[in-house]
Structure 1
Amino acid sequence: MEKCSDFSPVIMGAATGYAPQKVELFLNSISRTNFSGVVVLFLNDDQLDDYKEYFGGRYSNQFELRFVITQIGVFSSSKSLNKYLQKAIRFFSKYIVLKEPKLKKDFIYYFAPPHVSRFFDYYNFLKLNNFTHIILTDTRDVIVQGDLNKLNQQGLFLGMEDKSLLLGKDSFHVKWIGDVYGKKYLSEISNKQISCAGVTFGDYQSIRHYLDIMINEFMKLPYYTMVRSNYDQGIHNKLLYSNEFSGVKLCQPLGSEIATLGVMNINNVVLNEDCLILNADGSIPTFVHQYDRHKGLEQSLKDKYL
């Protein structure tokens, strides 16, 4: 598994609710690299024809693009149900789960926000397919650049946010962690750096373990908590700082393979003559996440990849 000749990678991401154009920049960026593995996009059934027509065999000479049908997001995007009715159904479904606990996993998968449900799709896909290395990634606001063969490493690689914003100072994480684990626990990790769940990669065993831990935590938590909001990143951070994950490598923005730029000072972001984002030491991060938080940078990347 450690030899480059045995390197068999897969990139997986959910594209539910996105028009094909929303993930075009992501896919085009992969086509500019040396990646020759498999890219899997999880789609709802009503998206499939549009994606097939739009992308066709565009990338067939570079990598294999697979579309996998999923149910994530179908409930929340249903045009026949307004948001108040959706909320009521989520609330009352907890009584069904109380009577039939064996339905909990299926109900979380179907009724939870896509950020949560995608973990089940990742897990189920990996059970049925053999890959040595796995990349779990957002698709709308990520580009891939650089040498993907560098990902032929052991361990669990987690993207980190800029240290200027800590867990206890970010309103989203205050809510996510406070709602799920309480204010006392939040105060215990309030000075910790935020880990972003948007891009995660590693060898097969490390990613399978990560998904096991995440899904087991989903199942331990109250059902209604899991379907009420997109708490996945709060849970991801709780498990990180509880030392539940194994072989963790923290990927600092502009200092690793994952450049998470959301709260980064744009003056610290450097592009070379080929419009590639550079790390502080001049190396090229493999993944750039949240570039769209900086409109000038977003336009430069659109000019390059679209």
Structure 2
Amino acid sequence: MHRNGRAIRRVIHHEQGRGRKRISLTSILFVIAIVSFVSFGALYRALFASINLSENQGIDRRESSPIIKSVNTGKDHNMLHNINPIDIPEKKVMPGQSYYGIVDKNIPSPRDTLKSIYNLTKVKFSQSPTLGKHRPDADVIMSMVYGYKLEQIVIFITSLVETGYQGDIVIGTGKDPDEEMKDFFNFYAENHHLVVYELPLKCCCPRAGHPCHVLNMYEGINENIPQSSWQKLKDHRTKRLAAVIRYEYYYEWSMLYQSKSRILVSDGRDVYFQRDPFQQLPYEDMEAHIIMADSGPPPDPSKPLVPMVIEESIPDYNWIKEAYKGTSTIEDVKHLTVSCSGTTLGGQPAMVMYTSAMVHQYDYSVKILGYADNFDQAYHNVILHKHLLPYATENATKVELFESGSPMNPLIRTLGVELKFRNKKKSLQEIQELGGLWLNSSGEELFINRDGSIPAVIHQADRHPQIKIMLYRRSAMEISRWSREKAKALLQEANTLEEKLRSYQD
């Protein structure tokens, strides 16, 4: 368009210079010819791009997949070019919509960053599992459970196995677990493909919620230096919480799998499974796909039962505002849907890109602030809404945001806001009557979606006391074979909570 404008101005100037009061017919025809030629070229390029897009495989399977026809993922934003994300803040990503990753491939991976810092030619992940073995061609579910006790994670693992899931389960835990936890890990490593990493974190306290450095995660070498050898690399990042460190491990663990593997990265303490999540995917080929879930409806019960936006969630708003202080980021995204970083699913190439982007956003935020905090939720939402996911394949990465509990989302149900704030003083029966939650009265599953489908993954269900009682009792049953004392303690907690709830309702 700038070239067209310059051509028109040149002709007008030429004619005016000759003292003419109107442009000659010849000049008008000349301008029309220029504009037509340029416009035809633009049309040709757009047509050629659309043909290429339709021929690309592994991006969108809606035409060929019999499953996806029942899942409305909304309008696609087919942005395959390297557009500056800052220029497109109005492209809303709402539940059921999707976009293609548009960031150039050159975002540095965690290993590339180390090569640059330490002047190395090669870097490798130097840690091995304490128990179990990775199967590169398997599906895998990963979780960081550092600092948690056995009774806090037993439901995560046992409920997953009970679905018939046959993939790998990879967890990162603390050093020197107690005897009951060791027995539990050994059993599931031998019989159910559990892979356990006892993480060498150096923290101020050996519990979750304290900042840490990672010891001996990488080795590096500069092959251009004669007689050089592999050396342990010091953690160059500031101390950070395990909630942030986990993405560094998720990246490396994802690198151990093949491109056809499907990967779920998940919270561990407040997640349990009702179905194998990989049996309910909308695509057969997940290589270029990342699926995210929203955080549920807004906390204000007077507002409609629709996904909340960032400015309605005080924690999310403040995290993003702080993590990207001094930039326009919070203003760009505050009107967009909150996505929960606790459960994210994708193909192996896409998950490598997502976890790499999460680590990169951490590094970017630290440059802005000079310090680190628990901003993983901020990074996740900024990656989603600013379209910051690099290409997973030669073509693109497709990111999709599904509404929790809707017919569009048979995978993940996120209940935290809905149970803890929106319906804080309501019984489960009252919540069900409002249409926000359905309890399954018959069968093993605790929850069903509004359309009667069974969500595979339940996240944050322990935010309501009645459900917490159910989970305590189920955990007690599962843990009893490993520790009768812990089972008894869980039952006691359930009974105490039930008494408090009864007195509160009376």
**Coarse TM-score class (shorter-chain normalised):** 0.7 to 0.9
CA–CA distance in structure 1, aligned partners of residues 348 and 370 of structure 2: 26
Instruction: Return the match for 1:51 from 173, 181, 185.
Output: 181
Task: Note if 1:127 corresponds to 2:255.
Answer: yes
Task: Note if 1:36 corresponds to 2:154.
Answer: no
Partner of 1:188: 332
Give, as a single letter, the amino acid of the residue that structure 2 aligns with 1:282. Answer: G
Q: CA deviation at 1:140?
A: 0.2
Task: Note if 1:197 corresponds to 2:351.
Answer: no
Which one is further off, 283-292 or 48-57?
48-57
CA RMSD after TM alignment: 3.1
Q: CA deviation at 1:271?
A: 2.1
Partner of 2:291: 157
Report the structure number with the largest CA radius of gyration: 2
CA–CA distance in structure 1, aligned partners of residues 371 and 240 of structure 2: 4
Partner of 2:414: 260
Partner of 2:245: 117
Give, as a single letter, the amino acid of the residue that structure 2 aligns with 1:68. Answer: Y
Q: CA deviation at 1:139?
A: 0.4
CA–CA distance in structure 1, aligned partners of residues 181 and 187 of structure 2: 11
- Offset from partner CA, 1:58-116 (integer Å, 9 cap, x none): 5754x2111112234x414259xxx8xx79x9xxxxxxxxxxxxxx99243x7111111
Partner of 1:167: 310
Give, as a single letter, the amino acid of the residue that structure 1 aligns with 2:317. Answer: V
Give, as a single letter, the amino acid of the residue that structure 2 aligns with 1:123. Answer: Y
CA–CA distance in structure 2, aligned partners of residues 224 and 302 of structure 1: 42
Decide which structure has greater helix share: 1
CA–CA distance in structure 1, aligned partners of residues 199 and 148 of structure 2: 13
Which one is further off, 169-178 or 8-17?
169-178
Task: Note if 1:274 corresponds to 2:443.
Answer: yes
Relative to structure 1, is the Cα distance of residues 11 and 139 closer, same or farther in structure 2, using a 3 angstrom cutoff?
same
TM-score, length basis structure 2: 0.51
CA–CA distance in structure 1, aligned partners of residues 189 and 205 of structure 2: 29
Relative to structure 1, is the Cα distance of residues 119 and 49 closer, same or farther in structure 2, using a 3 angstrom cutoff?
farther
Partner of 1:20: 150
Partner of 1:251: 402
TM-score, length basis structure 1: 0.81
Relative to structure 1, is the Cα distance of residues 17 and 227 closer, same or farther in structure 2, using a 3 angstrom cutoff?
farther
Secondary structure in 2 matching 1:134:
strand
**Residues 112 and 226, structure 1, Cα contact 8 Å, conserved in 2:** no
Task: Note if 1:75 corresponds to 2:218.
Answer: no
CA–CA distance in structure 2, aligned partners of residues 78 and 300 of structure 1: 29
CA–CA distance in structure 2, aligned partners of residues 146 and 160 of structure 1: 19
**Residues 257 and 348, structure 2, Cα contact 8 Å, conserved in 1:** no
Relative to structure 1, is the Cα distance of residues 30 and 168 closer, same or farther in structure 2, using a 3 angstrom cutoff?
same
**Residues 137 and 198, structure 1, Cα contact 8 Å, conserved in 2:** yes
- Offset from partner CA, 1:167-224 (integer Å, 9 cap, x none): 1122211221111213743133222111000011111111111112112222233258
- Give runs of ≥4 in structure 1 deviating > 6 Å: none
Give, as a single letter, the amino acid of the residue that structure 2 aligns with 1:236. Answer: H
Q: CA deviation at 1:275?
A: 4.4
Give, as a single letter, the amino acid of the residue that structure 2 aligns with 1:294. Answer: H
Structure 2: give runs of 5+ residues left out of the alignment.
1-57, 66-135, 214-232, 299-307, 390-396, 424-430, 478-506
Which one is further off, 214-223 or 227-236?
214-223
Partner of 1:230: 374
CA–CA distance in structure 1, aligned partners of residues 295 and 449 of structure 2: 14
Give, as a single letter, the amino acid of the residue that structure 1 aligns with 2:273. Answer: V
Q: CA deviation at 1:233?
A: 0.6
Structure 1: give runs of 5+ residues left out of the alignment.
90-103
Q: How many residues align?
A: 282
Greater RCO, 1 or 2 (C-alpha within 8 Å, sep 6+): 1
Which one is further off, 224-233 or 135-144?
224-233
Q: CA deviation at 1:153?
A: 4.8
Q: CA deviation at 1:225?
A: 4.2
Partner of 1:241: 385
